[in-house]
Amino acid sequence: MENQTEAGGFWACSRCTYHNRHGKTKCDMCECIRPDAKLRPLAREDATNESVLLNPEQSQKEGNQEFPITIDCDFLPRGGGISKLTNGIAKGVKGKIWSCRVCTLENPISNLFCGACNEGRPSKEKKPARPPPPKSKSETDKQFELTRKLQRQTSNKVETIREDDETKALKEWKNIVSICTEANVPFVDDSFLPNEKSLGRKSTKVKQWRRPHDIKSDAGSGVPWVVFRDPRPTDIAQGVLGNCWLLSALAVLSERPELLERVMITREVCREGAYQVRLCRSGKWEVVLVDDLLPCDAKGNLVYSQASRNQLWVPLIEKAVAKLYGSYEALVAGRAIEGLELMTGCPCESIMLKIRPGEAVDEPVDADLVWATLLSAKDAGFIMGASCGGDIDDEELFDSYKAVGLQAQHAYSVLDVRAVGQNRLVRLRNPWGRCSWTGAWSDHSDEWTPELRTTLMAHGAEEGVFWISLEHMMEYFDCVDVCKVRPSWSEVRLDGKFSCGQGELGTISILHVFQPTDVDVCLFQESNRGFSDESASLMDIMVGVYETAEGASQPRPRSHVANSPRKIRQSVGCNVFLEPGAYMLVPSAFSHWHTVQSKVAPPPYTLTVHSSQPVFIEHSPAPLHTQADALFLLCRKLGKRHEGISEVTCYYISKGMSGLIIAAENRRKDMFLQLDCNCVDSFNVVSSRGTLESHDVIRPYHRQIVILLTQLEANEGYSVSHKLRFRITNDKGTATEPARPPITTELKGLHEVLPL
């Protein structure tokens, strides 16, 4: 008979251990059929969907079969309920409960071990005997297993999470409004006061802060202020602040007003002046509370961004983002993809149309691949924005863009992607509603036939909206930012720490997939927006997906599945289709290893997983050689090879790596491999070994990550170069030859010579 545990109206799946609600007949996670109903303790669902225990005697026994009631705190429904459930148990056993000293879960006195972490019940009597752990299992292993049990999460529907966040936020908002109403005073946000500090620097334009009813606007005093009035991209007007990245993202989002409105939790004008905005900073959702005191000039006009027709959504979202990053001044300069991530929390990626200045050229941009990706994104219903001339700073180049009706250092919304015969066309909108492309396929060009004009411009030409060929788009535009909006998908977000080479091994995650699933994995580091000191500079980050064994106490990556690029950016990600099984997610960063920052504390990260089917994740400390194992599998799968000697291979990989990784393996039975690596001709890089030259000895049937180079300055060009000399010898004295530079204790997790 299968052991079926039920607690507070939940039943635990015997296959994946996920706790399902009482009324479910199949597991929501793996679709395993629930055991015979006769084995279920009796419970009912009340009107609020909370579980309520019935007669404790009846729920504990049925058919003379004992069923200990336990709760796994890892699987409690979002929004809590643990206190209600534990209180129900406490009443059910008439106060006979014990509190776990490890995880604090309250268990029935009949339970010998904690239902969440398996810790033994404290007792004055001798504890019941249980099988002793294997002698080979260290205290570290025990702690590792315990930590894994206590850090488990299941994914939840994106829309469910948003609705829960809004429900919680609205309770807080109503409390604030109630207090202001009783005191008969408008709300003033004391954490972001209307002063010079909130501006970021002294502004010659901002002379006062006014509430909407006191602000002058082109719409006139007869048009009432509202949060939304049928929002359109052309509503947005940029002020004196150089935050085009944010406004461009808002313009792209306003192509789908229902998505834009989800950013604002407070969607109606609040008489007390309190508003809530939901934003996703560095991969984590935050509800930002702001007042409606807005920066104005001496005449009472808005100084920063605004929306026409007396709408508040633009200045309120702008103020919330300013508060999030410390000041309005912190919003100057950025990329539209950052704004899309910030306001949607969805996975975003850039389709590169040309090589950016300073980036290593691995291979030219493939126009066919760009086109296929654009078509795929359009068919999936994703929102897209195109960056035009973002990296130019030459006045003559600006003029060349103006000559064809384009605005450099500007972002356009992508409205449509069509193939017309042999022509590949993209429809774009200038969100400012003026200036349109004047080249081939523009509104008045000769390429149009009456039939095509009827098909592709059914509503006639619009100011600021135009078609352009892919060829010309790749000439003038830098990239297309794609935001993967999928409300029906599930998501989970985890906080972790990077390895820092100072004895801190960082954290990894084990992803359990129960049915074929499309997955987007994204890794975020803390944003440096609003900070000017070097300690806040961005690191090179990467996340890899590897197959691993189910249920291993010390999991190891077994084979490479997918990886993101390694980039000096706030976020990176990869998309992969996964079959059922267990997968290790390995975040990494290396440019900080030899800095003061790594000695103070390991840098934090946020890992997000979006999936088409529900998934289950365990988050835990990384075993010692996780980084070395993962990078070696990556090099062996994707790296180029040096194979001058039989059964000896050196791998190197630089494409998409913001640097270089070199690994070597010695498959000889009784020969030692001596390896000299010289990277002194590299430029603007930092080495994980602390030097650009190294000498190592690799024993028979062993392998090693030899050296890892990382781009140092993200805004400058870099180059990598390496020369390898290797030979084999059967001189056993070679085994004692020291590595140069020495592999210190801090570097063993990455550079130690390991068995194959």
Please count the other Cβ atoms lying within 10 Å of the Cβ belonging to residue 411: 28
Catalytic residue among 111, 243, 430, 563: 430
Catalytic residue among 19, 410, 619, 625: 410
Q: Given phi > 0 = left and psi -120 to 50 = alpha, else beta, which region is 74?
A: alpha
Find all residues with CB under 8 Å of 250, minimum gap 6, and list them. Answer: 236, 260, 314, 317, 339, 343
Find all residues with CB under 8 Å of 101, minimum gap 6, and list them. Answer: 119, 122
Residue 244 falls in the annotated catalytic set: yes
Enumerate the β-bridge partners of residue 573.
Answer: 522
Alpha carbon distance 523, 520 (integer Å): 10
Alpha carbon distance 471, 469 (integer Å): 5
- Evaluate whether 16 touches 514 at the Cβ level (below 8 Å): yes
**Closest Cα to residue 747, out of 499, 537, 538, 555?**
499
Please count the other Cβ atoms lying within 10 Å of the Cβ belonging to residue 386: 26
Alpha carbon distance 259, 344 (integer Å): 8
> Token pair for residue 351?
């389709």
Q: Give the CB-side neighbour count of residue 355, counting CA atoms within 13 A.
A: 12
**Closest Cα to residue 605, out of 588, 630, 590, 628?**
588
Side chain identity, residue 750: L
Query: What does residue 328 show for φ and ψ, rounded to 5 degrees?
Result: -65, -35
Q: Please report, for residues 154, 447, 538, 618, the alpha-carbon distance to residue 115 in angstroms, rounded to integers and kept in the order given.
A: 18, 71, 42, 17
Q: What is the DSSP string of 687-753?
A: ETTSSSEEEEEE-TTEEEEEEEEEES-TTS--B---EEEEEEE--GGGGGPPPBS---GGGHHHHS-
Catalytic residue among 30, 244, 574, 679: 244
- Evaluate whether 516 touches 618 at the Cβ level (below 8 Å): no
Residue 594 falls in the annotated catalytic set: no
DSSP state of 535: G
Q: Give the CB-side neighbour count of residue 383, counting CA atoms within 13 A.
A: 29
Please count the other Cβ atoms lying within 10 Å of the Cβ belonging to residue 644: 12
Q: What does DSSP say about strands 490-497 and 604-611: parallel, antiparallel, or unpaired?
A: antiparallel
Residue with tokens 């109630």: 178
Q: Count of residues for the chain? A: 756
Residue 270 falls in the annotated catalytic set: no
Side chain identity, residue 429: R
- Evaluate whether 442 touches 451 at the Cβ level (below 8 Å): no
Specify the DSSP element, H or E, that contains 450: helix 450-456
Residue with tokens 């900073």: 281
Alpha carbon distance 600, 301 (integer Å): 46
- Evaluate whether 569 touches 513 at the Cβ level (below 8 Å): no
Side chain identity, residue 586: V
E-state strands within 549-626: 559-563, 567-568, 571-578, 581-589, 604-611, 616-621
Long-range contacts, stretch 37-44, CB < 8 angstroms, 24+ apart: 38/62, 38/63, 39/1, 39/4, 39/65, 39/67, 40/4, 40/6, 40/11, 41/6, 41/67, 41/69, 43/6, 43/8, 43/9, 44/9
Among all residues, which ones are annotated catalytic?
244, 410, 430
